[in-house]
Amino acid sequence: MSNVLDHYKQHEVLALGRLGWTLRRIADATGVHRVTVGGYLRAAGIAVRGRGRPGEDPPKPTISSEEVSTDLEAKPAISAGVSTDPQRSSPPGRAPSASACEPYRELIAEALGRGRNAMAIWQDLVDDHGFAARYASVRRFVVALRGHTPAEARVVITTAPGEEGQVDYGGDGPMVRDPSAGKYRRVRLFVLTLGYSRKCVRLLTWRSSAQIWAELHERAFRRLGGTVKVIVLDNLGEGVLTPDIYDPALNPLYRDVLAHYGVVALPCRVGDPDRKGKVEAGVGHAQKTPLKGLRFETIEAAQAYLDRWEERWADTRIHGTTKRQVAVMFAEERPALGPLPVEPFRYYRFGERTVHLNGCVEVEGAYYGAPPGWLGQRLQVQWNDLYVRLLAPKTGQLLREHLRTHRGWYQIHDEDRPARTPPSTLTLLARATSAGPSIGTVCTQIHQHDGVPGIRRILGVLALAKKHGPAVVEDAAKAALEIGVPTYRFLRKYVDRRPPVPLTLRQVDPLIRQLTLYRDLIDRKTGDPL
């Protein structure tokens, strides 16, 4: 051989040779010289196909990763043998032989009726019937039965190893018997596709929720053995609360799970499906190939079947865009994945709660104290089986963290409990209330705000009431409450600046006679004229 290739390149060359590719086509796809390719194929006992041999398909142009991919059914890297398909042109003078698919005509027709495509049928024949011909034989047989449908073009975005993963839900999973109802119903299909290698993790689930969506990501990361830097997703409610081109609002639980694994979410713009075309192709491939038309008795059996198919067929195929085996590219990408955290994420539920007059929020029948100053306001609350966390609504700042307690019980930090008022202070506040309701309210607020130093100010308010009268100070207290200044200084200035009341004389006793009567009596006694 004219050159020595590494293990992965050798595997790629041999896989393409088993598919029946020509030397020129293999050389164009792998970048290895045709002489080197031919040497490795002959050493492995694989027939070397040159340009222009009888029965050979015309060479197909290679497609770079920057071009548009139209190959939805990528050719597999594993071949079970040599094709016996007679639909190719036969040498002159030789009668055409029967197709290798002919004995399986009824089986193929029945599979087509269930919606399975040519790739799925070929895989079933190899796994279940020991089929020895190549995929191309089945493909041409299927085209003859139902006609050819051209694939839809997709834009391909190139990414570096370990840089990006794309996630999506497929609503059309396989039919699985529901253990609770005893009937078959569809399960949901979750797919995470690595942007560089196209390695997929496909998981099945009965239902969806914010926590299930986050748990599926965690399971996918641990199956891959690492994390990516960016996750590209649709604007579905499990991950995105409010779609926005520039600043989408993520589901808090989903955001925290990704942060735990060092991953950043990148929601797609609404109406931009090409941005996550790789994972959508992975969803469609699974729906049309391994799962189409099949039923399972348990979801565990369906997942096991999907895992075997992933290892046997999906990982070993030659991808239609990269022209390389998925498993080989994943081996290159895996060292670039981020490390997994030692501990899994601690899941929680979340919501909003109002701080009641007792200074607490209610979570599942139990009560948890909030810091002072939050009465009547809404707080964000996170809780699990161990903890309850109270967060500021706008900043997300942690205000209080409590241990979970039983229904009807309270959890309040000592610094949030109201201080016990001494009996002497209670007596003083009672005196203020008896002088006037507004005076009592002002004195109570002075004590709540100032504490012990406020006692002297309360005494000052009572002194004002003794000096100027309770009615005058009550009016001042009402004015202080109306404008929000319940202080002793305001009451004193209000009373001092009050205009003086004019002095009036009035008769307070009927025995006291008017002065004019005394004047008339004096005039009569002295004889002075009027």
Check residue 314 and report its DSSP letter: I
Say if residue 254's pLDDT is above 70. yes
Burial label for 257, CB within 10 Å (0-12, 13-18, 19+), is: buried
Quote the percentage of the chain above a pLDDT of 70. 75
pTM higher than the cut 0.75: no
H/E element, 174: none
The per-residue pLDDT for range 64-117, each reduced to its tens digit, is: 333 333 343 444 444 333 333 444 444 444 344 568 888 888 888 877 777 777
Separation of alpha carbons 28 and 41, rounded Å: 16
Of the two residues 479 and 152, the one the predictor is more confident about is 479
Give residue 342's pLDDT band: very low, low, confident or very high (50, 70, 90).
confident
For residue 378, the cross-strand partners are 354
Q: Can you tell me whether residue 86 is helix, strand or coil?
A: coil
- Dihedral angle, C-alpha 27, 33, 39, 44, nearest 10 °: -40
The per-residue pLDDT for range 203-248, each reduced to its tens digit, is: 999 988 888 999 999 999 999 999 999 888 887 878 888 777 666 7
Q: What sign for the dihedral angle of Cα 262, 203, 127, 56?
A: negative
Residue 365 phi, psi dihedral angles, 5° rounding: 85, -5
Mean pLDDT (whole number) for 424-430: 88
Contact of 28 with 62, CB cutoff 8 Å = yes
Give the highest mean pLDDT range of 55-69, 199-213, 316-330: 199-213
